[in-house]
Amino acid sequence: MCWLPSGRPLRTVVPMGISEPGSRRQPPDRDRHLVLLIDDSRTMREVLKVYLMGGKYEFVEAESAARALDLLRTEPVEVVIADVNMPKMDGIQLLHALRTHEDAHVRGIPVILITGDKSEDAHARLKDARADAFLQKPLRAESLVALVEQLLAAHR
We report the CATH number of the domain holding residue 136 as 3.40.50.2300
Q: Is residue 18 included in any domain, yes or no?
A: no
Enclosing domain of residue 126: 2-6+32-78+91-154
Answer whether residue 148 is part of any domain: yes
Asked if pLDDT for residue 76 goes beyond 60, the answer is: yes
| Per-residue confidence (pLDDT) for residue 18, from 0 to 100 | 35
Within a domain: residue 105? yes
CB atoms within 10 A of CB 52: 20
Residue 131 has pLDDT above 50, yes or no: yes
DSSP string computed for the chain: -EE-TTSPBP-------PPPTT-PPPPPPTT-EEEEEE-S-HHHHHHHHHHHTTSSEEEEEESSHHHHHHHTTT---SEEEEES--SSS-HHHHHHHHHT-SSHHHHTS-EEEEE---SHHHHHHHHHHT-SEEEESSP-HHHHHHHHHHHHHHT-
pLDDT exceeds cutoff 90 at 123: no
| 115 and 109 Cβ atoms separated by less than 8 Å | no
On whether residue 71 sits in a domain, the answer given is yes
Domain membership flag for residue 51: yes
Instruction: State whether residue 130 is helix, strand or coil.
Output: coil
Q: How many domains does the chain have?
A: 1
Residue 16 has phi, psi (to 5 degrees) of -85, 180
| 136 assigned to some structural domain | yes
What is the predicted pLDDT for the residue at 5? 52
pTM of the model: 0.81
Interval 38-56 mean pLDDT: 95
In this predicted model, what pLDDT tens digit does every residue of 3-42 receive, in sequence order? 455 554 443 333 333 334 444 555 555 678 999 999 999 9
Please give the Cα distance from 80 to 110 (Å, whole number): 6
Residue 38 CB burial class (10 angstroms; 0-12, 13-18, ≥19): buried
Assess if residue 68 is contained within a domain. yes
As a whole number of angstroms, the distance between CA 142 and CA 132 comes to 18
* Chain segment 82-122, per-residue pLDDT in tens: 999 999 999 999 999 999 999 999 999 999 999 988 888 88
pLDDT bin (cut points 50, 70, 90) of residue 57 is very high
Residue 59: inside a domain, yes or no? yes
Give the three-class secondary structure for 19. coil
